[in-house]
Chain A
Amino acid sequence: MSTPIQLRPDETFILNVGPQHPATHGVLRVKMEMDGEYIVKSETVLGYIHRMHEKMGENRTYAQYLPNLSRLDYLGALGYTHGHVLAIERAAGIEVPERAEYIRAITVELNRVASHLFWFGAFVMDLGGFSPLMYAIQDREHILDMLEAVTGARLTYCYYRFGGLYNDIDDDFIEAAKRFIPRMRKSLKKYAALVTGNIIFQKRLEGIAPVSAEMCRKYGATGPVARGSGINFDVRKNEPYSVYPEFDFDVPVYHECDSMARYKVRMDEMEQSLRIIEQGLEKLPGGPIMAEKKPKNIKLPVGDFYQAVETARGSFGIRIVSDGDKNAYRLKLRSPTYSNMHLFDEACEGMLIMDALAFMGSLDLVIPEMDR
């Protein structure tokens, strides 16, 4: 007669989330030590889509590096390319015409809305709701069409140039953007009623996965993750760049520290981005879109340059160490989700696995940006 297997009360098992788990976006692996449905310990393993973007920055010229920046975060690519061109322009002392900066701000904000829309859809789908994803993609499609008409690409834009832009926007773009703003405002109301007000959604997010402000500081979390934990930090306000000081907009901050707070920050940010676009279209000055005095082959002076910008996921920084040559001696990219992801391991200890996956969604991860 056999005796039934006796489990030790403290026995745990290892659960691999990823590398290609359908519940995560991109190839991220999280090794979780589980006690039943509770996480005892988790370990994030990165590197599955590392493409050596930093190294590439060192062995090609500054202009040749332009397309790389939009391959980091494929959902909000313009923010990253903006950081790159700003860094080079400041280091090389290139004056950018005002019109070009306004167009940059407008397109970056449109891209931010597109990125948040996709995150919104994917996040709700992680939690089991499918329709919002379809509605969000439908709205995002309008932005992609607009951006395609000016940049020539739908996702991996290569639109900004040192000293200006690849080409100018036309009246069609301005018309389309003006039509889009009220449409998007209506959609935001729809999302508030359909998703934010939904009881199941609220119960799964409110009070779940608290991330304290200390933890954010410890891991260097920025963007909506930090702003959902009560840290009022937005590079556009705190270290203004481009023409952002000209715009009147608010930085949404929530103090609840839970997944719901992070969700609300992003939903409010979309409205603020619409405000910036509206003001940008109104104030858009005429004139050239490319600097007149601009060296053909850009060489930076010897030195160490850093530029931070606020992308859809947080503060993105690019550091260029130049030895005076036409390519960088060392190029370092500080990507926001890399830092945001690292608080996951500590924060998810003792959490239910389903809550942890919702938490992961609320961090808004884009894996190629983390891995670079």
Chain B
Amino acid sequence: METRQQRKAAAQGAGPGDARSSASLLEGTDRETLLNYYYQMVLIRYFEEKAGEMYTRARIGGYCHLNLGEEATVVGFCAGLEPDDYVYTNYREHGYAICRGISPAVVMAELFGKKTGCSLGRGGSMHLFDIKRRFMGGYGIVGGQLPLAVGAAFALAYRGAREIVACQMGDGTTNGGPFHESLNLAKLYRLPVVFLIVNNQYGMGTRVDQGSAVPDLYRKACAYDMRSERVDGTDVLAVLEAVRTAARIAREEREPSLIEAVSYRFRGHSVVDPDRYRPEEEVRRWRERDPILLYAARLKEAGLMDDAKRQELEARAQQEVEEAVRFAEESEFPSVDELYDFVYAGEGGR
């Protein structure tokens, strides 16, 4: 049975262009906060461009997946939560880590494999973590984070805590068992969790409709009678509003939700992907819907951000990224004497 929201969204043919309006939020939020969203979006943009560059300069190894093009989804998602909520994500998580308060310097240091990194150089790009900020991990196995997030929500419900868990994933993740098992468990036990699908329309080279029998991904929630909706993932305020609503419902009513944010990744799956499977025309069309440009135009139109302010914010973000690189460069690698640290908890870690 579809929920009311799902029927409504389906009837409206909700899609990237016509998702819920975020106009009221623009009016009801103070200027500083709105400008901070802009700041975070450009910070992620610069950070990811720099990460790509550092990868090609062999400062970063392994896989490296960027949030370029998804900045509105990342910022809206994080802003819709409270600071003490718990966040689980997949491996495309640099932006989420930064928005949850891990400094770009410490994230960059992790990408460089330095001991000052947020996972002490043990995790790398796909496995950022910060217990103090309740950033409970990027996870490199597709779908792996979902059952964990459900378990964290289980622990919160067990203790009668006020916090909730938010769990991000990609579109391709909705085709696997962990997605379905996790939604079922979350609804069955009525756990305070918000699932976010970042529908960037591809899982590696597989387009959504080539991998999912139901390409309207938010509709998959109906199998579990879970509330769900689709939002325009290029509209930071729309994502924010959807996440904030879902978070409130999770907190107050112990109802999980599924949100699908539709966006696009501007580059390949990871830094080394030559990206040959997407039609040029499609890429060009989506690049025109650059979430940062869209938001800048809205702020300008509302008289909240003139060109000088915009330049000031962008310069500050750029500087923060430069400093992050400097910090990462200057930091030391972990000592090989510590190779066996952290295999086991207690026992001196070994």
Chain A partners chain B: no
B residues contacting A by CB (< 8 A) are none
A residues contacting B by CB (< 8 A) are none
